[in-house]
Amino acid sequence: MSLELSCRKVGDVAVVDLTGRITLGEEASKFREAIRVLVAQGERKLLLNLAQVSYLDSSGLGELVSAYTTLRSQGGELKLLHLGRRIRDILQITKLCTVFEVYEDEAEAVRSFYTR
Amino acid sequence: MTGSSQPSREMTARDQTDAAESVFELESTLESVDLAEQIAVRAAAEAGLDDDQQYEIGMAVRESVINAVVHGNRYNRNKKVRLTVRMRPGELVVRVADEGEGFDPSQVPDPLASENLLSQSGRGLLLIRAFTDEFTVRRLVPQGTEVVLVKRVREPSPPRSEEAEREG
């Protein structure tokens, strides 16, 4: 299943809804390009909604990390929303759960970008 | 699926240990990664592994074939990846062999070390180990690396007690 992305704004936060798999090849490239465009457009608060992402391999994980470090280097933030069980397990195995802020509620996630 | 990714299936056999074995020769392309995952998931289902276990061995095989194609054979179209799937009672054994220069898993940086947590790559072996019951790596002669992945059927629910048996 290929990856589909769509972006909507909630205040200053760009919420990216993803559907499909983020894996080595076309899907990872598509994800990388979408993040590149959003950052080029000036977006600095990104919330990735992974509710419909069924699968992440090591390349997909690498792309998430790369997006995170890209945003951070630009003074921005990237956070995750609605992780499925398997995605959550992968983040635990790789300890990336200690890197990403993860939310189960979109409104709470959006508010978090405005509080320190 | 492209024509070039169509594997040549060399044999399907059942040997004296009642194990069914299939061998696939895959091109060193990204299409082979998806194909190998699909083959592993299908074999896992046939072997009686549950949905989570099918996903796990599929992921482990996927990551192994990524290593074989990208790091082992380096996309060299003259080199093949050999995928062997062996179903034995209670377990699935998958071997992935490349024709590369080989690697030493102990030299791969620990992706869980704090200095590596934000690395973009290097998590494949970690996922393979996490999602298999056994994982071994060996050098092939004259060249290449073979990884062996073993996934065992999860133990079924505890057997019914003698009392329950009598009542049943």
| pLDDT tens for each residue of A68-101 | 999 999 999 999 999 999 999 999 999 999 999 9
Residue A59 belongs to a domain? yes
Nearest CA in chain A to B31: A25
A61 CB near a chain B CB, below 8 Å?
yes
- B112/A95 touch (CB, cutoff 8 Å), yes or no: yes
Give chain B's length. Answer: 168
Residue A66 belongs to a domain? yes
How many domains in chain B? 1
Residue B78 belongs to a domain? yes
Phi, psi of B18 (to 5 degrees): 65, 35
Pair A101, A111: CB distance under 8 Å: no
Nearest CA in chain A to B120: A62
Residue B162 belongs to a domain? no
Chain B residues within an 8 Å CB radius of A95: 112, 117
Residue A79 belongs to a domain? yes
Residue B161 belongs to a domain? no
Domain that includes residue A50, residue range? 4-106
User: Which residues have C-beta within 8 Å of that of residue B81, sequence separation ≥ 6?
Assistant: B25, B26, B27, B28, B32, B36, B65, B68, B69, B72, B73, B96, B97, B98
Nearest CA in chain A to B111: A94
pLDDT, one tens digit for every residue, chain B (168 residues)? 334 445 666 544 454 455 789 999 999 999 999 999 999 999 999 999 999 999 999 999 999 999 999 999 999 999 999 999 999 888 999 999 999 998 888 889 999 999 999 999 999 999 999 999 999 999 999 999 999 999 999 876 666 665 555 554
Pair B126, A94: CB distance under 8 Å: yes
Domain that includes residue B47, residue range? 3-154
Residue A30 belongs to a domain? yes
Residue B21 belongs to a domain? yes
Pair A86, A60: CB distance under 8 Å: no
Percent with pLDDT over 90 in chain A: 97
Q: Could you tell me if the ipTM is greater than 0.90?
A: yes
Residue A89 belongs to a domain? yes
pTM: 0.88
- A36, A41, A42, A48 alpha-carbon torsion, rounded to 10°: -50
Q: Average of pLDDT values for A49-69?
A: 97
- B123/A69 touch (CB, cutoff 8 Å), yes or no: no
Tell me the CATH number at A81.
3.30.750.24
What Å distances lie between residue B142 and A53, A108, B100, B139, B149, CA to CA? 42, 58, 10, 9, 22
Tell me the CATH number at B45.
3.30.565.10
pLDDT of A44 strictly over 70 = yes
Residue B27 belongs to a domain? yes
Residue A116: per-residue pLDDT: 64
How many domains in chain A? 1
- Reply yes or no: is the peptide bond before residue B109 cis, omega within 30 of 0: no
